[in-house]
């Protein structure tokens, strides 16, 4: 039974979508003004895994996200780069889609753009004005927080609380300092026509208008970073529920921020690493593994040291996968049946899957899940060692089953455990060349010509190819150091 932590209730609740079997989830995307950074990626990975697990459980999932392509920053940035705001937004939206591909994040079913939903937004603002929840003042339209009784229910604060320490400069034309803009007046020629003159949508209205347009007044999951709880999501609730008179979102999920030396990465502070920068040094799989090794709700401290550690841990799992793949393409022998070991292993396969589900059912606890996968890898490694690489039919079918389950779990995490192979198999030419050299080295070794054998190994190492002698012949791979220098 899946339970999720709902920010709205501050409790773990049993997950039951509004419509049986169908989950509608909306995740706040980014303002396409620059390349994505690791904080955005954490969010994207998190909801990607949630989506995958919901599907694993048998739900149909409709996953929608957005690109905010209208705001001052985009205009400024476009001027800097000497292109139009549309071109800028396009450029970074495209870049984001490339980034998430590297990280094996499945794209949303739909990315909604503010610029393509202006009519819906205007309609919504208009209705809010008609219903008395919003008012116009000199070409701007504001939502009146005092008109919405539940204002503050998501972030757990009252209007009075917030006012006490408010740091915002109060705009003259607002009736209440906490009122927020639904529609902003802009200079002629820069905005859209509206009943209140030319302008732009306010920041919060887009998500409400676009999500309700696709999903209806109520949907199941709304996700985003904890830094969006207030004011963004609080305001979304206010305007959406005021508009429809219905509950807006059933489960509010929030992922923790990515920190750098203890402080939140953010565009404004400038203390962030772009996804591209990080991917120059580590594969998407490693980054993904690292980000999933903590519970999604907690903040996570980012550093390259931590990524290196993650890479080592990750390799253990990809080795198990590789070993499994290798042995399953081998011959079936007929070594002796060890019933006890077989039964134990058979049970382990089942138990690991159960543990995995238990961890995921507990608010998508991927940190625990990774522990389970490590335990599972240990089970598999031990079992393979016991067989001495000579499989009988029973071993074979058990390992086959193990591989299936292992990859099923890996798939929910979006991990493939195959990046090392990808690097090694990049070029067929490279493969054959290294094979020739290793053949030469093997004959040298047979003749106990260690000097020649070591020379070959050392020279290969110099160019970044690491040779490993295993009981089943020499293996090689491209070292991670070389990968770093290449890029």
**CB-CB neighbours of 298 under 10 Å:** 11
Q: Which is nearer to RNA, 196 or 364 (CB)?
A: 364
CB of 133 to RNA, least distance (A): 19
Instruction: Please say whether the dihedral angle defined by the alpha carbons of residues 213, 215, 218 and 223, taken in this order, is positive or negative.
Output: negative
Q: Binding to RNA (CB under 7 A): which residues in 79-118?
A: none
Determine contact, residues 468/420, Cβ cutoff 8 Å.
no
State which of residues 59, 133, 203, 215 lies at the interface with RNA (CB under 7 A): 203
> Which listed residue (229, 341, 351, 424) binds RNA by CB under 7 A?
229
Kindly state the number of chain residues that form the binding site for RNA, as judged by CB under 7 A.
85
Interface with RNA includes 418 (CB under 7 A)? Answer: no
Interface with RNA, residue 6, by CB under 7 A: no
Which residue number, 22 or 232, has a Cβ lying nearer to RNA?
232
Cα 174 from chain centroid (whole Å): 38
Contact code string over 302-341 relative to RNA, x by CB under 7 A: ----x--xx-xx-xx--xx--x------------------
Binder among 294, 344, 394, 483 for RNA (CB under 7 A): 294
Nearer to RNA, 132 or 330 (CB): 330
Please state the closest distance from residue 332 (CB atom) to RNA, in A: 22
Among 195, 422, 470, 484, which residue sits at the site for RNA (rule: CB under 7 A)? Answer: 470
| Of 25, 28, 89, 121, the one binding RNA by CB under 7 A | 28
Site residues for RNA, window 141-170 (CB under 7 A)? 155-157, 161-162, 164-168
Q: Is residue 370 at the binding interface for RNA, with CB under 7 A as the rule?
A: yes
Residue closer to RNA, measured from CB, 266 or 353: 266
User: Residues 118, 377, 438, 465: which binds RNA (CB under 7 A)?
Assistant: 377
Query: In this chain, which of 8, 23, 25, 40 binds RNA, going by CB under 7 A?
Result: 40
Q: Is 205 in the site for RNA (CB under 7 A)?
A: no
CB of 130 to RNA, least distance (A): 25
User: Taking the complex as a whole, how short is the minimal distance between the CB of residue 345 and RNA, in angstroms?
Assistant: 13
Q: For RNA, which is the closer residue by CB, 245 or 262? A: 262
In the region spanning residues 209 to 228, those forming contacts with RNA, defined by CB under 7 A, are: 224-228
291 touching RNA, by CB under 7 A: no
- 77 binding RNA? (CB under 7 A): no
**Residue 213 CB, nearest distance to RNA (Å)?**
19
Examine residue 232 and tell whether it contacts RNA (CB under 7 A).
Answer: yes
Q: Does 447 bind RNA (CB under 7 A)?
A: no
Asked whether the beta carbons of 163 and 177 are under 8 A apart, the reply is yes
Q: How many CB atoms are located within 10 Å of the residue 339 CB?
A: 9
Q: Which is nearer to RNA, 131 or 477 (CB)?
A: 477
Nearer to RNA, 213 or 368 (CB): 368
Name every residue whose Cβ is closer than 8 Å to that of residue 371 and which is 6 or more positions away in sequence.
359
User: Of the listed pieces 26-34, 110-118, 126-134, 430-438, which binds RNA according to CB under 7 A?
Assistant: 26-34
- Position 76 contacts RNA (CB under 7 A): no
Q: Report in angstroms how near the CB of residue 357 gets to RNA at its nearest.
A: 14
CA distance from start to end of the chain = 45
464 binds RNA (CB under 7 A): no
Give 105's strand partners. Answer: none
Contact between 445 and RNA by CB under 7 A: the answer reads yes
Least distance to RNA from the beta carbon of 115, Å?
Answer: 16
Nearer to RNA, 52 or 316 (CB): 316
């Amino acid at each position: 039974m899946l339970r999720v932590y709902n920010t709205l209730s501050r409790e773990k609740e049993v997950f039951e979508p509004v419509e049986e079997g169908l989950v509608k989830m909306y995740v706040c995307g980014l303002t396409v003004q620059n390349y994505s950074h690791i904080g955005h990626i954490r969010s994207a990975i998190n909801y990607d895994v949630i989506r995958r697990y919901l599907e694993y459980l048998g739900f149909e999932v409709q996953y929608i996200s957005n690109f905010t392509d209208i705001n001052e920053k985009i205009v400024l940035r476009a001027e800097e780069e000497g292109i139009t705001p549309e071109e800028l937004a396009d450029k970074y939206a495209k870049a984001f889609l490339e980034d998430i591909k590297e990280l094996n994040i499945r794209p949303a079913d739909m990315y909604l753009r503010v610029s393509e939903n202006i009519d819906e937004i205007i309609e919504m603002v208009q209705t809010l004005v008609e219903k008395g929840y919003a008012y116009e003042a000199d070409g701007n339209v504001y939502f009146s927080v005092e008109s919405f009784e539940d204002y503050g229910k998501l972030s757990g604060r009252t209007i009075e609380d917030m006012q006490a320490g408010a740091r915002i400069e109060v705009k003259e034309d607002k009736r209440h300092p906490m009122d927020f803009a639904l529609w902003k007046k802009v200079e002629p020629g820069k905005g859209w026509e509206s009943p209140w003159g030319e302008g732009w949508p306010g920041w919060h209205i887009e998500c409400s208008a676009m999500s309700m347009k696709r999903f209806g007044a109520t949907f199941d999951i709304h996700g985003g970073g904890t830094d969006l709880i207030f004011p963004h999501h609080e305001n979304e609730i206010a305007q959406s529920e005021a508009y429809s008179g219905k509950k807006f979102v059933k489960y509010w999920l929030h992922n923790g921020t990515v920190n750098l030396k203890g402080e939140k990465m953010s565009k404004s502070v400038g203390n962030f690493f772009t996804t591209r920068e990080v991917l120059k040094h580590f594969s998407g799989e490693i980054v993904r593994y690292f980000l999933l090794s903590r519970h999604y709700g907690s903040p996570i401290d980012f550093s390259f040291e931590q990524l290196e550690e993650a890479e080592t841990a990750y390799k253990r799992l990809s080795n198990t996968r590789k070993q499994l793949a290798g042995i399953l393409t081998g011959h079936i022998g007929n070594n002796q049946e060890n019933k006890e070991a077989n039964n134990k292993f058979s049970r382990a396969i089942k138990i690991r899957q159960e543990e995995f589900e238990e961890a995921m059912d507990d608010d998508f606890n991927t940190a625990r899940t990774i522990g389970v996968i490590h335990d599972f890898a240990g089970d598999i490694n031990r079992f393979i060692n016991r067989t001495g690489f000579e499989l009988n039919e029973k071993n074979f079918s058990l390992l086959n089953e193990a591989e299936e389950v292992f990859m099923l779990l890996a798939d929910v995490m979006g991990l493939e455990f195959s990046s090392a192979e990808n690097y090694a198999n990049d070029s067929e030419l490279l493969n054959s060349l290294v094979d020739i050299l290793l053949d030469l080295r093997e004959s040298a070794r047979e003749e106990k010509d260690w000097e020649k054998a070591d020379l070959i190994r050392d020279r290969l190492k110099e160019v970044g190819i690491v040779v490993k002698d295993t009981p089943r012949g020499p293996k090689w791979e491209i070292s991670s150091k070389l990968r770093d220098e290449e890029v």
